[in-house]
Structure 1
Amino acid sequence: MDLTGNLSVGERIRVLRESRGMSRPTLAQLCGRGPDWLKKIETGERELRSHTLLLRLGAALQVRDLSVITGSDTGPAATVPTGRLNHPSMPDIWSAVMQRTLTPHAAGPADPAILQGRVDQTWNLWHSSKHNRTEVGAVLPALIRDAEAAVRALDGDARRAALVALSDVYRLTGQATAYVAPAELAWVVADRALSAAQDADQPAAIAAAAWNMGNILRETSYPEEALRVVTEAADLLRPHLDTAPDDWRGVYGALQLHAAVTAAREAREGDAWRYWKKGDQIAKSLPANYVHPSTVFGRANVDFHEISVATDLHQARKAIGLADDVDPTVMPSVERQSRLWVEVARGHLQRGERTAALKVMQMAYEIGSETVSYTPSARTVAAELWRTAPRAMRGEASTLAAAVGITTG
């Protein structure tokens, strides 16, 4: 293994990978990404900016310090932690998902209406709690088992209603375990959500599950597949929009915002704004105070996504200007409020405004500590601030990094 000379980051990754006898698909999978993504990194076609992905590569390649990959020994040490992000709720959720029983529920099937009510309450908890992963994770295992039991025991319309509830449960499971679940569980959960919705033959449930599947595809570097899934789901709902309930249009709008962010991350500016405008039009057709119960689509979320799209397109000045006109308190979701400030912090970093970025990130953490701690983009911002904050702000940057769980020694 020869890492001497003026090698790029991508070249160093390739040398390390080959020295360990690893194929490109294998290393990409260990990082939760696709082989095309890794190929672009290794060939220099794509820049590796994410600190989180650097840590994943370091763990997969079994290096102790990121300088082996980056080629830089300036700045603080960057020790590579072993393993992925962990959350104490994962073992019980894993058991409920991956070890589901095929025998009937001892207490009999749950009433579908009561089951759906429990699911709706848990979605509300997800959006309202500062510690949403912990609190939702505590109730998910029983909810998964009860929903599975209801589907197995019921038939007819009651079974279809239970299938919709089961799809909702698995969508929520995907949200609550994002970035901490093993890849196999993430894919199982997304597939079960979509399969249950299709078995129920309910277009809005299918579309919502497709929105969830699109999240998985996008986060594992399959943007084209993500766009295909959400646009097909939108096509499924479109014939119903004139007479559909508000929540059906809410899902349709959420699909447009999903497509907008996906396109923006691929630098497809025209497509990104076109999808965003479709979402904006749907929001205008709904009551001013409407909020979808799970995707939180509504006026505020459309405005939040406008900032996200601008940030992903590296239009930082526009993003920060838009943020000046947004009232985050109208958004009922703590999780979305926290993520909004992460996006604003990203915009400040793009402009080199590290002090402003740090203050905004502190706000994001105060609003939703677990959102910041378990979201890769937020952790990337916190890590960047820890490494590059002005001297006067280093103490605060270190405190934030430690709170988020960034390895600093």
Structure 2
Amino acid sequence: MQILRQRRGMNRTVLAGLIGMSPSWVKRVENGQLQTPGLEMILRIAEALRVRDLSDLTGYLAGHTSLFTGPGHPRLAAVQDAVNAYPLTTRQEAPPAEHLRARLARAWSARHSAPNHRDVVGQLLPDLIRDAQLAVRQADTAVDRRTAQAALAEVYSLSQFFLAYQPDPSLLWRVAERGMVAAQESEDPHAIGVAAWLAAEAHRDSGPGHYDAADTVTMETLEYLRPLAPDASDDVRAITGALTVAAGYTAARRGDTGTAWRHWDTAREMADRLPADYYHPVTSFSRAIMGAHAVTVAVELHAGGESVRQAARAEAEVIPSRPRRARHRIEQARGYQLDGQPDVALATLAQAYEAAPETIRYNGYARRIVLEETEAASPDRRRRASDLAVRIGVLAA
């Protein structure tokens, strides 16, 4: 635990706050003065330290348990091949820009509407990646090239949703960096905002050592976008709001309550200025999503009571995107778990599974809660947790 904590650049006080214990307790565990904690606490420590395999923390190599990286999706290899390919000698002609945009729109629609959204997107991505790359290479004018770069950046954005929680983090980072470069080359404010939002997500999910990088990309992009807001499209104003929420998430991860809620308040004001039925096609930013964002801010602050209060106010049914609705259910479950309501947490995760099985299957937080409850004292809760664990692939049938 001490080695992993120090690798994260985290002192004992920070780790203690994240797991709800005292710094002296952390010190005694690290010095071997206390017995090995129970499974619930081990999983809590693993979450705080962003341990990807439980054996890295426990030293028990015979039983690998992946926590934050889900099992590789069956279509991962095809997407890897498409990202890694450099078809310099192909004679294939790039599709027209309008055709590529229409395919991208259908792909985003499928991602939001299909319960097996990773499977659908994974099937579409290889051809989209290849054709978007060809469109950039074969552009005849500067304007055409910028248009093609914007489309390529969007394809890379879609790729990042597929690659999240997959067992190839280096591929995710390559795609994130290529997406940012393509967006900058496009000079399109919306493309730049989306690429920055995804880069900030990747940095924040990489642990405390990357929080500064997440803040840097978020704040610099907001500084670029905010002056454009008065005359900008709804999409540009929405990505500005989504980036503001992202800043709040990072502040919450740091435990900075005031800053986290201040960013949320600012983002809510931005959402209120959007049309009532507007829904951003990439980030889901909208009026409807602000309740879900409030739940996540409270959860990231490890405020169990506030998480439950926000969960009671936030309606999942108003979120049109199935994977985003499932993610909201997972965040609600995290809140109920923090508040000592494991039965409600399990029931909420079951609702997440109904909304989008592939979202919960590849979400590390959901897997942690389910795995923890398979060891619960209550036989009924153990049974329900075990049933759900089998469905999401944590346990074998």
TM range (shorter): 0.7 to 0.9
One of 1, 5, 8 as aligned partner of 1:37: 8
Counterpart residue identity of residue 138, structure 1: Q
Q: Which residue number in structure 2 is paired with residue 267 of structure 1?
A: 255
SS at match of 1:80: coil
Give the whole-Å Cα distance in 2 for the aligned partners of 1:197 and 1:327.
34
Deviation at 1:59, TM superposition (A): 5.6
SS at match of 1:241: helix
Q: Which residue number in structure 1 is paired with residue 61 of structure 2?
A: 64
Q: Which residue number in structure 1 is paired with residue 227 of structure 2?
A: 239
Give the whole-Å Cα distance in 2 for the aligned partners of 1:197 and 1:334.
27
Counterpart residue identity of residue 147, structure 2: A
One of 310, 319, 331 as aligned partner of 1:322: 310
Cα offsets for 1:310-339 (capped at 9, x unmatched): 111122222222222332222111011111
Counterpart residue identity of residue 279, structure 1: A
Cα offsets for 1:217-272 (capped at 9, x unmatched): 11112111101101111111111100101100010011011111111111111110
Deviating beyond 4 angstroms after TM superposition, the runs of 4 or more aligned structure 1 residues are: 38-48, 50-55, 59-62, 81-84
Superposition pairs of residues 22-101 of structure 1, within 5 angstroms: 36-37=7-8, 40=11, 47=19, 49=44, 53-54=50-51, 56-58=53-55, 63-64=60-61, 79-81=63-65, 85-101=71-87
Give the whole-Å Cα distance in 1 for the aligned partners of 2:58 and 2:143.
51
Contact 1:291/1:297 (<8 A) preserved? yes
Give the whole-Å Cα distance in 2 for the aligned partners of 1:324 and 1:137.
34
Give the whole-Å Cα distance in 1 for the aligned partners of 2:339 and 2:58.
33
Does 2:360 match 1:395? no
Give the whole-Å Cα distance in 2 for the aligned partners of 1:208 and 1:64.
40
Contact 2:180/2:195 (<8 A) preserved? yes
Contact 2:291/2:315 (<8 A) preserved? no
Does 2:205 match 1:208? no
**TM-score between the two structures when normalised by the length of structure 1:** 0.84
Give the whole-Å Cα distance in 2 for the aligned partners of 1:379 and 1:178.
15
Root-mean-square deviation (Å): 2.4
Deviation at 1:42, TM superposition (A): 12
Give the whole-Å Cα distance in 2 for the aligned partners of 1:225 and 1:200.
23
Contact 1:354/1:389 (<8 A) preserved? no
Counterpart residue identity of residue 168, structure 2: P
Contact 2:150/2:186 (<8 A) preserved? yes
Cα offsets for 1:66-112 (capped at 9, x unmatched): xxxxxxxxxxxxx3248962111111101000122123441x12111
One of 184, 193, 204 as aligned partner of 1:218: 204
Give the whole-Å Cα distance in 1 for the aligned partners of 2:376 and 2:328.
22
Cα offsets for 1:332-360 (capped at 9, x unmatched): 11011111111111111112111111111
Alpha-carbon spacing, 1:94–1:41, altered in 2? closer, same or farther (3 Å):
farther
Deviation at 1:171, TM superposition (A): 0.8
Give the whole-Å Cα distance in 2 for the aligned partners of 1:60 and 1:119.
41
Deviation at 1:50, TM superposition (A): 5.6
Q: Which residue number in structure 1 is paired with residue 108 of structure 2?
A: 123
Alpha-carbon spacing, 1:234–1:248, altered in 2? closer, same or farther (3 Å):
same
Q: Which residue number in structure 2 is paired with residue 406 of structure 1?
A: 394
Q: Which residue number in structure 2 is paired with residue 182 of structure 1?
A: 168
Cα offsets for 1:127-164 (capped at 9, x unmatched): 11111111110110010000000000013212211111
Give the whole-Å Cα distance in 2 for the aligned partners of 1:394 and 1:300.
34
Contact 2:70/2:363 (<8 A) preserved? no
Q: Which residue number in structure 1 is paired with residue 281 of structure 2?
A: 293
Q: Which residue number in structure 2 is paired with residue 162 of structure 1?
A: 148
Alpha-carbon spacing, 1:303–1:160, altered in 2? closer, same or farther (3 Å):
same
Alpha-carbon spacing, 1:299–1:43, altered in 2? closer, same or farther (3 Å):
closer
Alpha-carbon spacing, 1:339–1:50, altered in 2? closer, same or farther (3 Å):
farther
Contact 1:389/1:397 (<8 A) preserved? no
Contact 1:50/1:380 (<8 A) preserved? no
Alpha-carbon spacing, 1:322–1:57, altered in 2? closer, same or farther (3 Å):
closer
Q: Which residue number in structure 2 is paired with residue 17 of structure 1?
A: none
Give the whole-Å Cα distance in 2 for the aligned partners of 1:341 and 1:133.
18
Moved more, 347-356 or 244-253: 347-356
**TM-score between the two structures when normalised by the length of structure 2:** 0.86
- Where structure 2 has 5 or more consecutive residues not aligned to the other structure, the ranges are 20-41
Contact 1:56/1:84 (<8 A) preserved? no
Contact 2:386/2:395 (<8 A) preserved? no
